[in-house]
A and B are shown apart, each in its own frame.
Chain A
Amino acid sequence: MFIYILAAVFNFVDLKKVSAARAYSILSLIGSVLNLAALVAMIIVNRRLPLATGYEFLLSFALVMVVIYRFMVIKDDIRSAGGFVMLIAALLLFAAAIQIPGNYNGSGPLMPALKSPWLGVHVLTAVIAYGGFALAASLAIMNLAGEMEPKTSSSIYNLVAGSFAMLSLSIVLGAVWAEQAWGTYWSWDPKETWAMITWIIYAIYLHLHRRQGWKGKKADILVIVGFIIVLFTFFGVNYLMSGLHSYS
C-alpha cells in the first residue's frame, strides 16, 4: 500500500519537474522520506535489515540511488538529471509493488542459510553498487541526449569507479558467505555468473576510459549497457533461470 503511493509520488515528480522546479524538489524529498519510512518500518517489524527479499532489495536500491544523487547534486552540481533519476526510482518501486502479491513472503523469519552476518554486508554492498550504476546510467542517458553540462562525464566515471569497488566487495563477501553455507565460494549459478559479467563489463569500461576515444558517447553507451546487464542480473535471472539465489 505504502509503496503504491510512493511510486505515484515519484512518477508525479517527474511530470511536475518540467513545469515547476520547486514542486520537483519538494516531491522528491517527500518521496525519499516515504521510501526511508517504509524501510524503517520493515526493519522494526522484521527486526532485521530489509535486504533478504527481492522486494526489500528494490526499495533499498531506489533509496540508495536517490541518496547518492542528492550528494552529487551538492558536490558536483548536476541538477538536470533529476527527472530521469526520479523516473528510474519510480520504475524500481513499481517493480517492487508488482512483486508484493506473489512474492512477498518477507515478513517471516529467514531460512537457515540466510542467517549469516555475511548476508547483510553482501546485499548492502550490492545495493549501493547497483544504486550507483543506476545513477551513472541515468546521467549517461542525459549526456547522450545532450542535456548535460560537460562535467558529467567525469561524474559518471567517478560513479562507476566507486560502484565497481562496491560490486567487487559484494562479490567477494558473497563468496565468503557461499563458502560457509554451501561449501563452494563460487558455484557458477546464473546469478553469480551474471554478476561476474556485470563486473567484467564495468572493468572493460574502466580500462577503456584511459583512452582518448572512449570518453564521450561510446563510453556513455557502455555505461548504459552495463546497467541493462545489472537489471538483467536482478530481474531476468530471477524469473528466467533457477539457481541457488532464487529466493530473491
Chain B
Amino acid sequence: MFKFIKQIYQKCSSMKTGLILLGLISLVSAIGTGIFPDGFPRTTLFRLLILFLFINMFLCTASQSKRFINRIHKKQIIKWLSTKQGGTLLLHTGIILVLIGGGINSIYGQTAQIIIKEGDTISVSKLISSKSAFKLKLNKFEIKFNPDGSPAQYYSGINIISEIKPLVKASISVNHPLKYEGVKLYQESFGYLVVTQAENGGKKIGKTIKEGETIKPPGTSRIVRVYKYIPNYNPQYGMETKTLRPDNPRVMFSVYEDKNLLGVGVARLGEPVKIDRDTIVKFKAIKLYSVINAKTDPGLSFTCIGGVMLVVGVFLALFISQLLKPTNMAGEDGSKDILAEDNH
C-alpha cells in the first residue's frame, strides 16, 4: 500500500509527467485559439490540465527545494541562489506562484463595467466588493488630441466619495488606472449622448439620447432617431468621422412615420430641423459618457512576486550561467547530483 502511494507520488512529481502536461496544454491552446478563441481557457479540460501541472510542479519543486535546503545550510544562501540550480528553483517556484495567483483571481476576482455620464454619480461598491463603500462621480470626460486630430489620451475626471474618508479628486486615463480600497478602475471606452429638444407651438420636450435611440416630438406622429454623432463631418468620409476631434460636429438622424423611413439628414448642433409642418427638433449639445472597468484581484500579489521570481530565476539559470560558460554543454555542470531522480 505504502509502495503504491509512493509510486503515484513519483509519477505525479516526475519531470516526464510535467513535460507531457506542458505538451498537452500547448496542444489544447493551439486548437483552442482556432476553434473557440474566447472559451477554451474556461473549459474543464484546460482547467484540469493546469491543475495537474500545478500539482506536478508543486511536488517536483518541493522535493527539489528540500534537497536544496539540506545542502545550503553549510554555505551562504546568496552564493547558492546565484548558481544554475538556485536559478532553476527560483524560476519554478515563480511559475507556481503565478499559477496560484491566477487561480485565486479566477475564483475570487471580480470585474464590473461602469457606464457613467458626465455629472452622474454611481455607487461602485454595489457593483463590486471593495474594502469600504464608495461612490464615483464623473465630472468630465475629456479627449486630448494630437495635432493631426487622432486621439492622444482619454481622461475621466472623477471624484471619489467615501463615507469615512475625505473626498478624492482624481483622473483615470488609458495606462493610468486608479487604485482605491482594493478596487482598480480602468479607462475602457466612451460614447456620446445627444441632448435633444423637440418643439411644437408652445409645447417643448427635452431628452438626452444615445446613438440609435429615438425621440417622439409632441404634436406629430413622426419619430426622430438619432443615428450617429459625427465629431468631424466631411462629406467625403460619408457617415464616418474624419477624426474624433469635434472640428465640424454634426448629428445624423432619420425620421419615421408608422415605421416607414421618410428621410435622413445631417444637422449642426443647435440648428433647428423642421420634421413636420409645425414641429422643430434641435440637437442642442453633446454629452459624453465614460466606460470604466472596475476590477479586484486578490491573487495579484502572488502573481507579481511569482513573475519577478520567474524572471530573476530564468536569467540566473539560463542567461548568466550561459554568459559565464559560453561553450559548455548545459546540464553537465554538476546539476545532476541535485536532480538525480529525473532520468526516467
Contacts and interface: CB of A to CB of B under 8 A. Distances in A.
Interface of A: 75-76, 108-109, 111-113, 115-116, 151, 153-155, 157-158, 161-162, 164-165, 168-169, 172, 175-176, 180-186, 188-190, 193-194, 196-197, 200-201, 203-204, 206-211, 215, 237, 241, 243
B102 A186 contact: yes
A158 B318 CA distance: 8
B295 interface: yes
A196 B26 contact: yes
B87 to A, nearest CB: 10
A211 B332 CA distance: 10
Contacts of A243: 37
B311 A169 contact: yes
A235 to B, nearest CB: 14
Contacts of B102: 186
Contacts of B150: 108-109, 111
Interface in B188-204: 188
30 contacts: A112-B154, A112-B173, A115-B153, A151-B327, A153-B329, A158-B327, A162-B319, A165-B314, A165-B315, A168-B314, A172-B310, A175-B307, A181-B174, A181-B186, A182-B186, A183-B186, A183-B188, A189-B37, A193-B29, A194-B30, A200-B22, A200-B23, A200-B25, A200-B26, A203-B22, A204-B19, A204-B23, A210-B335, A215-B329, A237-B33
B329 A154 contact: yes
B15 A207 contact: yes
A194 B32 CA distance: 11
A143 to B, nearest CB: 15
Contacts of A75: 326
A134 B151 CA distance: 36
A230 B102 CA distance: 25
Given A75-B326, A112-B154, A165-B315, A172 B307 contact: yes
A106 B265 CA distance: 36
Contacts of A197: 26, 29-30
A247 to B, nearest CB: 13
Nearest to B329: A154
Interface in B149-199: 150-154, 173-177, 184, 186, 188
B326 A158 contact: yes
A185 B295 CA distance: 12
Interface in B29-44: 29-30, 32-34, 37-38, 40-41
Interface residues of B, number: 52
Question: Is chain A's interface secondary structure helix, strand, loop, or mixed overall?
Answer: helix
**The 4 A-B residue pairs with the shortest CB-CB distance in the complex, in nearest-first order:** A210-B331, A112-B174, A161-B318, A183-B186
Nearest to B335: A210
Contacts of A76: 326-327
B230 to A, nearest CB: 20
B184 to A, nearest CB: 7
A183 B307 CA distance: 17
A184 B22 CA distance: 23
A210 B333 CA distance: 11
B37 to A, nearest CB: 6
A162 B314 CA distance: 9
Contact of B176 (A153, A162, A180): A180
A169 B123 CA distance: 39
Given A113-B175, A162-B319, A204-B22, 18 more contacts: A75-B326, A109-B146, A109-B152, A115-B174, A151-B327, A154-B329, A162-B318, A169-B315, A172-B307, A175-B307, A180-B175, A188-B40, A193-B30, A194-B29, A200-B25, A206-B318, A211-B343, A241-B33
Given A112-B152, A196-B29, A209 B318 contact: no
Given A109-B152, A115-B153, A194 B186 contact: no
A228 B41 CA distance: 24
Interface in B81-112: 102, 111
B152 to A, nearest CB: 6
Interface string B253-288: 000000000000000000000000000000000000
A200 B24 CA distance: 10
B125 interface: no
B173 A209 contact: no
A193 B314 contact: no
B303 interface: yes
B302 to A, nearest CB: 12
Contacts of A116: 175
Contacts of A157: 329-330
B33 A190 contact: yes
